[in-house]
Amino acid sequence: MAGFSLKCGDCGTLLKSVEEAQEHAELTKHANFVESTEAVLNLVCSSCGKPCRSKTETDLHTKRTGHIEFVDKTAEAAKPISLDAPKPKDDTELEEPSDGGSIQNEEMVVPEVNQQLLSELEEMGFPKERAIRALHFSGNVSLEAAANWIVENENDPDIDKMLLVPSSSSKTPEPKKQSLTPEEIKLKQQELKERARKKKEEDEKRMEREREKERIRVGRELLEAKRVEEENERKRTLALRKAEKEEEKRAREKIRQKLEEDKAERRRRLGLPAEESSVAKPSSVPPAKEEKASFLPVRPATKAEQMRECLRTLKQTHKDEEAKVKTAFSTLLTFAKNVATNPDEEKFRKIRLSNANFQDRVGKLKGGIEFLELCGFEKVEGGEFLFLAPHKLDLAVLHSAGSELNSAINNPFFGVL
């Protein structure tokens, strides 16, 4: 298949002819070219007809002019490339230069530009490389033309690279005579500086507006997040207060029930008849038997009731030693909690009775050891240890023990009556 372009093996640029390849080699010092079947792009602007050879050129053209529509005429312009060297127009072009060098190997140098205009551009803040390019391509005509070229080509990727041209074309024609007076030139310089200053101020104002919008947006988000957090906190507070009120109501009801149970228990022990709420006994029972039955419990005491009675006995027996009673209750609660939480740990199910701390906290107080025995502990090894065997471990009993101990610790009326 015939080739439609020459491709630079160093940078990948597509070139239409051998002449373009030679110019590319002179400018870049690239020497590796191969024939390619890929045609050079020919994207023609629909508005002004400017041809562009790459997507980069179309983007730059759009940025400079605002034109966005391009027609792809690559297929129409594609022609097989001729690899023959270009023929000279006349015999004089075949003559070698007087210095013995060849046209292709001509030395690349920095172009000569108007030094006065170059100094003025550098004083305006433009880099030397950019100023030389602007003066060279604008023909060293005027400061305004060079400045306009910089504005139009400021996005070129090589604008700040030093321009190199063949030595034969390095000398540019003398600049045309300035038609402006020195005062007009100074005014034009001031106008350019003012234009640059205004553009900078406009950019700064635009950035400040964007930053202000961002600050407002972030502020609104923070306020909304704070409002949501406060609303959630208010709901949590209301729920906590409601739970506290319900807990207080349950505690009062529990105290009332305790008082009624204690009152009924005292009446039972004193042999007094039950209150009206009590169920009447059958009339067929003989009076003697009825009187004897009044001293017996109405129903068998549950394990929880036995524990409650044991704790009540402990508190009433040591009512003048409130600190010891609280310590005993807390210690018993710790024993029950440790066993319920770690049922497989033997160290929590075995207590040495001779331990001084245990004796001081629980062992010497009436009802302490009895409460542990109700939890399932038994005396082993000649009464030296209290041990809760795994097969006798009942979590329901331990939970009941914990509930009774919590009630005894938190109920200010426990054991008073």
Check pLDDT > 90 for residue 255. yes
Domain 301-410: top CATH class: mainly alpha
Measured distance CA(59)–CA(238) in Å, rounded: 63
The predicted structure's pLDDT at residue 223: 93
Measured distance CA(367)–CA(312) in Å, rounded: 9
The predicted structure's pLDDT at residue 171: 56
The predicted structure's pLDDT at residue 100: 44
Domain 108-179: top CATH class: mainly alpha
> What is the mean pLDDT of the segment spanning 366-391?
88
> What is the mean pLDDT of the segment spanning 250-261?
91
- Range with lowest mean pLDDT among 36-40, 219-223, 384-388, 407-411: 36-40
CB count within 10 Å of CB 97 equals 11
- Range with lowest mean pLDDT among 125-134, 180-189, 335-344: 180-189
Domain ranges of the chain: 5-83, 108-179, 181-271, 301-410
pLDDT in tens, 38-55: 778 888 888 888 888 888
Instruction: Give the residue carrying structure tokens 């471990």.
Output: 393
Most confident of 170-174, 185-189, 390-394: 390-394
The predicted structure's pLDDT at residue 408: 85
Tell me the C-alpha to C-alpha distance, in Å, between residue 416 and each of 57, 402, 412: 99, 20, 8
Check pLDDT > 50 for residue 294. no
Contact call for residues 33 and 7 (beta carbons, < 8 A): yes
State the angle between helix axes of 143-152 and 128-137 in degrees (0 to 180), rounded to the nearest 10. 110
The fraction of the chain above a pLDDT of 90, given in percent, is 14
pLDDT in tens, 175-189: 444 455 777 777 877
User: 31: pLDDT confidence band, cut at 50, 70 and 90?
Assistant: confident
- Residues belonging to the chain: 417
> Any bridge partners for residue 15, and if so which?
6
- Burial of 281-295, coded b for 16+ CB within 10 Å and e otherwise, reads eeeeeeeeeeeeebe
